[in-house]
Structure 1
Amino acid sequence: MNFLSDSKNTLKLLIGITFVSVLFRVGAALFLGNQISEMPGVSDQISYHTLGIRLAGGYGFTFDRPWWPATQAGEPTAHWSYLYSYFVAGIYWLFGPHPLLVRLLQALIIGIIHPLLIFVVGKLSFNSRVGLIAAAITSVYIYFVYYSATLMTEPFYIAGILAILGTSGWIVKNANQILENPRKYLLFAFLLGVATSLTILLRQAFLLFLPFLYTWLLFVLRKNYLVPALKMIGINVLIITLFILPFTIYNYERFNQFVLLNTNAGFAFYWANHPIYGTHFEGILSQSTYLDLLPKELYGLNEAALDRELLNRGLQFVIQDPLRYFFLSLSRIPVYFMFWPSPHSSILSNISRIGSFGVFLPFMIYGLMTTLAKKGEEKVTLYSPVFLLLLFILVYSLIHIFTWTLIRYRLPVDAVLVLFAAVGFSDLIQKIQQRKAVTLS
């Protein structure tokens, strides 16, 4: 334990952890190979692969045949992340449509930055020992290893969230050094703005957490730095607007109506709250079932108009029977936090689920309890970066529990819970060492 606490060893350990992280993720990329197939939980990569080919070939954001969820051949789509589609398309344009190259490059990038980011957040929120343990867990966490090699937004999205949480926590913990120094102030305002913007471009769902993040920053900084905090949030919003606006304009030109970024919220909310479920949510229905649930009278609408109409109808489901919606949302909790094997899942999915969330969940819970039980100077308060981590876990989980729940939507929460698993490991190891010391004495 003292070895982990020794600052001289921190860099060596972090390099070793990062090496293992890259090695595992490159291995996953090679395992998944150069083919794109409809594997459980990662079928979206077929769409990103196809869009990458279309973009690299100069066809824009369209498909050459009818596509999920209800996009006609040659018609514009905004259902998928623009940013990630460009990432795939750029590699395809340079080297040809080889998914393995995307997997390998992504595995390398994520293999390096994910453990480094979790270490920074862990050290900031707790200490370097917890940061190192969290980085070590992250490097071998099967879900993270698996998804880092898929053509999906999850790995970069998780990294973006960690960057936002880390930057926000750093600003609060070092407010006097940052907010009173013009250069540092602008630097951190820029870093927070860019990290937030890129994260939103990967998945617009993060927009729902922003009001909570901004409220926390204002609350913590209100006493001495209210005006600088307001200005920083203003800069943040301005940068986000500058990043999103080109896509909003692009969407209006193609759909002839306002679409902020992506056309997927309506589809998700409509399907997730359809009366077909009653009060018992099922994580994944068959693709044909989802399509059969689309109202026939809406066929012929473009993707944007259909998404908006479906959102309205989804909200009507809630208004017409709020009690059913409440119990339906409660039924999503086991789906969201599922850690046990399922006969409906593939062997790979079951292994990934049990070998990551299933193994580390007890340590996550123990770490959460240990953290909340701390007293004195280590006690968690509203002003602590740890509170921001807890706030994210709660709010982000509720967002998906009350909308649409899949296990992969929980992965950003897993990334933060890993920090508490590290706290749990650290505390248990310390107690074991103390008992050994007592026994030897």
Structure 2
Amino acid sequence: MPVSERLPGPLARLVARRWFPHVTCFVAALVLRVAWVLWVDRDGFVLNDAMMYNANAVAINEGLGFRPPQGGPSAQWPPAYSTILAGIYWVFGIEPLWGEIFNAIVGALTVVLLMLLIERVVDRRAAIVGGVMLAVLPGPILWTDVLVTETLYTAMFVLLFLVLAHASPTWPWLVAIGAVIGLGALVRGEALTWGLLPIVLFWRELPRLELARRIAGIAAVVIVILMPWTIRNAIVMDAFVPVATNASATLWSGHHAGATGGQTYPPEEYYLQFDQEPPLRELQSGSALRRDAIEYMVTHPVHELQLVPLKLIHLNRGDSYALDWVNDAPGAAPISPINAERIGVIADVGYYGLLTLFLLGAVVLGRPFWRTRMGRVFAASFLTALFLYGFLYYGNYRYRLPYEPLMVLVAAAFLTQLWRWRRTSERTDPA
């Protein structure tokens, strides 16, 4: 029975309108995110990723190109987010608030993208449930106030699944898939692992040789999109850097004698062995960190296994940890300790409630869900995340944010399935 048939007349007519739930969830999500951004009044930046993205955006507006505060050319971070910030600053003025407003808009659009995805793979009722859940989920709201890639990367991730859910193995669709993967990689390098997903999607639909041709076509589109940035790096950095150099530090953080499963940094004296002029320090340290991490992985297999559960624990820390970034300011913390504690409790309840529903849904929905065309793609994505952040790199609650909409999808499918079972039970109850 459609949702609208069990609601009062005027409300039923509204819900039945094609875009009413989507617009309502978008507006609710946008209001919550903008209100959060306007409430948090941060006085400048400390040395973190947000400072780097902001500094790059300012440097681009000054005609200096990608240039972090320490100076010199750099490819430490992928270029897309800094470039977008630079465009926003060029239009509205160099004020980080406008970048945060951009995050709020992107976060609200992600809610609509998720609803369209759920409609495609589950049904409209689940899409409404999922849209409401993501609109009010605290974690994604908290991250909108921080100038990092999480919000944009999450939107690109959900967009990819929406494209995959509609895609057929025709060249226009393959170009679209490659375009989303390539643009996603310019936001965060891990998006290159998204290339696994169309393989899973089309594995049962195409002969192996034809599948290889189609995947090669997707890869060609990705390469074309990355090529201008790679060429820029070859010219400016005098090195082959397809996306960014920060992956080396991320790899080292997960594989060294002092690794904890979470984020760690080399001691400052580690960098004294390299040329200090940019970009030599960045390139030389990146190569050394990568080499040291791989050597440690090979020579310390027992410790590597011990780190896996620790990484997964760090990956699943509560969304309250986003407040560490929100309150990371050179002056007084913008959120008072008592408010941070209250908001943190709500955020953790929100995430662990979602995690519980996701795990229950993953089991209860079972094979009928996971063996569908898109179910296999969702499973491959979650398994890739476990490999990336449970073994290859390190566990970080930031890295989990893009997967929360997919968790919402499973949770919404589970809740609506429970509702259907309840309705069926009521109709068959002899009483």
TM-score, normalised with respect to structure 1? 0.83
Distance 1:77 1:440, change over 3 A: farther
Structure 1 residue 436: deviation in Å? 5.0
TM-score, normalised with respect to structure 2? 0.85
Q: What is the CA–CA distance in structure 1 between the aligned matches of 2:125 and 2:225, rounded to whole Å?
A: 37
Letter in 2 for 1:3: V
Q: Note if 1:311 corresponds to 2:290.
A: yes
Task: Choose the corresponding residue for 2:384, options 378, 395, 410.
Answer: 395
Q: What is the CA–CA distance in structure 1 between the aligned matches of 2:27 and 2:319, rounded to whole Å?
A: 30
Q: Note if 1:17 corresponds to 2:25.
A: yes
Task: Choose the corresponding residue for 1:148, options 144, 159, 170.
Answer: 144
Structure 1 residue 349: deviation in Å? 7.3
Q: How many residues align?
A: 403
Structure 1 residue 353: deviation in Å? 3.9
Distance 1:293 1:400, change over 3 A: farther
Q: Deviations over 1:385-436 (max 9, x none)?
A: 1111111011122211111211010112222111111122212333444455
Task: Extract unaligned runs of 5+ from structure 2.
Answer: 6-11, 325-339
Letter in 1 for 2:62: G
Letter in 1 for 2:386: S
- The 8 Å contact of residues 106 and 155 in structure 2, kept in 1 or not, is answered as no
Q: Deviations over 1:300-353 (max 9, x none)?
A: 3431222122101110111111121121123211111224978x9663773364
1:215 paired residue number = 199
Q: What is the CA–CA distance in structure 2 between the aligned matches of 1:341 and 1:202, rounded to whole Å?
A: 24
Q: What is the CA–CA distance in structure 2 between the aligned matches of 1:186 and 1:298, rounded to whole Å?
A: 47
- The 8 Å contact of residues 139 and 320 in structure 2, kept in 1 or not, is answered as no
Distance 1:226 1:21, change over 3 A: farther
Q: What is the CA–CA distance in structure 1 between the aligned matches of 2:116 and 2:156, rounded to whole Å?
A: 13
Distance 1:336 1:31, change over 3 A: same
1:338 paired residue number = 317
Distance 1:158 1:379, change over 3 A: closer
Q: What is the CA–CA distance in structure 2 between the aligned matches of 1:435 and 1:261, rounded to whole Å?
A: 54
Q: Deviations over 1:278-308 (max 9, x none)?
A: xx43x345xxx64437354235343122212
Q: What is the CA–CA distance in structure 1 between the aligned matches of 2:382 and 2:32, rounded to whole Å?
A: 26
Classify the secondary structure of the residue corresponding to 2:19: helix
Task: Extract unaligned runs of 5+ from structure 1.
Answer: 65-72, 180-184
Q: What is the CA–CA distance in structure 2 between the aligned matches of 1:90 and 1:261, rounded to whole Å?
A: 20
Letter in 1 for 2:420: Q
The worse-fitting range, judged by mean Cα deviation, of 198-207 and 3-12 is 3-12
1:411 paired residue number = 401
Q: What is the CA–CA distance in structure 2 between the aligned matches of 1:352 and 1:408, rounded to whole Å?
A: 18
Distance 1:354 1:263, change over 3 A: same
Task: Choose the corresponding residue for 1:52, options 57, 61, 66.
Answer: 57
2:225 paired residue number = 243
Classify the secondary structure of the residue corresponding to 2:258: helix
Structure 1 residue 437: deviation in Å? 5.0
Q: Deviations over 1:73-107 (max 9, x none)?
A: 32221112201101111111222211111212331
Distance 1:341 1:198, change over 3 A: closer
Cα RMSD for the two superposed structures: 2.7
2:126 paired residue number = 130
- The 8 Å contact of residues 115 and 131 in structure 2, kept in 1 or not, is answered as yes
1:261 paired residue number = 243
The residue correspondences of 1:28-427 to structure 2 (distance < 5 A) are 28-33=36-41, 35-38=43-46, 43-64=48-69, 73-111=70-108, 113-171=109-167, 175=168, 179=169, 185-210=170-195, 212-223=196-207, 227=210, 229-277=211-259, 280-281=260-261, 283-285=262-264, 290-292=266-268, 294=270, 296-298=272-274, 300=276, 301-339=280-318, 347=341, 350-351=344-345, 353-372=347-366, 378=368, 380-381=370-371, 384-402=373-391, 403-427=393-417
Classify the secondary structure of the residue corresponding to 1:63: coil
Classify the secondary structure of the residue corresponding to 2:379: helix
Q: What is the CA–CA distance in structure 2 between the aligned matches of 1:337 and 1:261, rounded to whole Å?
A: 27
Classify the secondary structure of the residue corresponding to 1:258: coil
1:69 paired residue number = none
Letter in 1 for 2:375: V
Classify the secondary structure of the residue corresponding to 1:26: helix
Q: What is the CA–CA distance in structure 2 between the aligned matches of 1:98 and 1:315, rounded to whole Å?
A: 41
- The 8 Å contact of residues 182 and 192 in structure 2, kept in 1 or not, is answered as no
Letter in 1 for 2:376: F
Q: What is the CA–CA distance in structure 2 between the aligned matches of 1:290 and 1:164, rounded to whole Å?
A: 35
- The 8 Å contact of residues 142 and 355 in structure 1, kept in 2 or not, is answered as no
Distance 1:231 1:408, change over 3 A: same
Q: What is the CA–CA distance in structure 2 between the aligned matches of 1:434 and 1:293, rounded to whole Å?
A: 67
- The 8 Å contact of residues 21 and 115 in structure 1, kept in 2 or not, is answered as yes
